[in-house]
Amino acid sequence: DTTIVLNTIHPQPKAGFSISRAAICLGDNVSFTSTANGGDGTITDWNWNFNDGSLPATGQVQSHLYTNAGNYNVSHFITNSHGCNSDTISKPFKVYAQPTVNAGPDVFVLEGGTATLEPVYTGEDNIYLWSPSDYLNSTSVPRPVTTPLADITYNISVTNPGGCSISDEVFVKVLKGPKIPNTFSPNGDGINDKWIIEFLDTYPNCKVVVFTR
Q: What is the pTM of this model?
A: 0.76
The confidence score (pLDDT) of residue 167 equals 97
Residue environment code for 142-172, b if the CB has 16+ CB neighbours within 10 A, otherwise e: bebebebeeebebebebbbbbebebebebeb
Per-residue pLDDT of the chain (213 residues; tens, 9 = 90+): 899 888 788 999 999 999 999 899 999 999 999 999 999 999 999 999 999 999 889 999 999 999 999 999 999 999 999 999 999 999 999 999 999 999 999 999 988 899 999 999 999 999 999 999 999 999 999 999 999 999 999 999 999 999 999 999 999 999 888 888 888 888 999 888 998 888 888 787 888 888 887
Residue 91: which of 49, 60, 28 has the closest Cα? 49
